[in-house]
Amino acid sequence: DGDLKFSLESVKKLKALMDENIHSNSRVGISKASYSPCDEKDLPEEFQSVCKREDASMIFERLTLAVQEADLCEICANAACAGCF
């Protein structure tokens, strides 16, 4: 994301945390907008620096979108990949 780089595995863990928490919170009436993965104890360490940024929520949203497609190959999910269709 911009000048930030994260491993694909960490982004997958981030997406799983966000999906799980948003699903749980929607049942009790907590909105997606009020959720922050920075509050998760299982958040991968490499995202701690993102939590200190004002644009953290936008960064997390873009990262989870990168692995949103269920059939997206792992090579093409990597932003450094060239030649993906």
Q: Mind listing the pLDDT tens digit for each residue in 3-34?
A: 788 888 888 888 888 888 765 554 555 445 56
- Three-state DSSP at 78 gives coil
pLDDT digits (tens, 9 = 90+) for 37-83: 898 888 999 999 999 999 998 888 888 777 776 555 555 655 555 55
Instruction: Please state, in angstroms and rounded to a whole number, the distance separating the CA atoms of residues 24 and 51.
Output: 22
Phi then psi for residue 59, to 5 deg, are -65, -45
**Contact, 1 vs 47, CB < 8 A?**
no
DSSP states of 27-50 as a string?
HHT--GGG--GGG-TTS-GGGHHH
